[in-house]
Amino acid sequence: MRRHITPLRVVGLLVGVLVVTLGALYVAPSDDYILLPDRAHPVAPLVTVKGGKEPAGNGGIFFVDVFERRASELESLFPWLHDGSTLVPAKLLVPPGETDQTARQADLRAMQVSQQTAAAVALRQLGYDVVAKPSGVVVSAVETGSHAVGVLRPEDVIVAVDGVPTPTIPSLRKQLAGLKPGDTVTLQVKRGGGTQTVKIQTIADPLDKKRAIVGFSPDQAADIKLPINVSIDAGNVGGPSAGLAFALQVMRELGRNVTHGYRVAATGEIGLDGRVSAIGGVKQKTFGVRQAGADVFLVPVDGGNARTAKRYAGKLKIIPVTSLRQALRALAKLPPKG
């Protein structure tokens, strides 16, 4: 007896093969990360200031994070499956020699530093006496293509160059100024509670071929003593990008009217001098702010962040910011909330 293969049976077989293939692609990890929007969150539940309180009434501060995880092969092939997503090569988020876990730990440490810095900047803005002693130069990111890849790690703190202490970014640059591209430099680095010495061959600055650089983005580390207790608990959220939002919330809880009745979302890494610098995932964060129904979104000018946010803002008002003071001025100039 012969069984005939009918068109319906062929279609069924093809559908079965397709389902199995898609299932395998969905499970298999790719070499990319996928960034996904997350709804903006109120900052108030995370911040406790001794002697302060969250004011009643309309308005509020929101921070934004991004869902970040390894993309499956299916998502890598079809990134449009998720609205507002972006694919990023893994090597840009997890430096060579690092693992997903160590990169995650670095993000959490960056969040802790961001919280302390935000509290210090906010209290200074309110006139409090804050002690902040420079303690080294933090490796914010390692530049792909430099000899620092695999040697330095994000959140390393460089405390000396060729045996000379470098507590500040200018002092580090001064020590590097006498070197030529290709020279080897010895760095004393604090990492994970210990100190170690590493040697790295310098490269030429892309903007000045005669200038030697190590190949990393610097941030200022400091020992900070606050005059009043400020506690910020962001849970498992990592990275430094909520610094501006935290600073605004600390001021708000101490009686400063920073929102003027508006629902204000904010992103940006904040430095000890109050300057607000660029962050990643702006596209996803703009989607997240829109989902939360915020009125305005404070976004760094630095790195073209604000320009990117405006591209995905829709009716959301984007306020480009350069510093905490400028952000406060911009919020104060908003029309009365109807």
What pLDDT digit, counting tens, does each position of 206-256 carry?
878 888 999 988 888 888 999 999 988 877 676 677 899 999 999 999 999
> What does the chain come to in residues?
338
The CATH number, out of the four listed (2.60.300.12, 3.40.50.620, 3.90.226.10, 2.30.42.10), of the domain defined by the range 131-222: 2.30.42.10
Instruction: Please give the single-letter amino acid code of residue 58.
Output: N
Give the residue, 338 or 60, on which the prediction is more confident: 60
CA pair distance 297, 288, nearest whole angstrom: 11
Do residues 142 and 214 make contact, with C-beta atoms less than 8 angstroms apart?
Answer: no
What pLDDT shows up at residue 169? 86
Rg, C-alpha atoms of the chain: 24
Give the residue, 275 or 298, on which the prediction is more confident: 298
CA pair distance 270, 7, nearest whole angstrom: 64
What pLDDT shows up at residue 25? 47
Q: What is the pTM of this model?
A: 0.76
Domains in the chain: boundaries: 38-65+104-127+228-332, 131-222
CA angle (107 as vertex; 106, 112 as ends), nearest 5: 95
Q: 134: buried, middle or exposed (CB in 10 Å: 19+, 13-18, 0-12)?
A: middle
**Average pLDDT value for residue range 28-44:** 80
What pLDDT shows up at residue 205? 85
Hey, which residues does 275 pair with through a beta bridge?
A: 323
**Average pLDDT value for residue range 42-65:** 89
Residue 156, number of CB atoms within 10 A of its CB: 25
Give the residue, 52 or 96, on which the prediction is more confident: 52
The CATH architecture annotation of domain 38-65+104-127+228-332 reads: 2-Layer Sandwich (3.30)
What pLDDT shows up at residue 147? 92
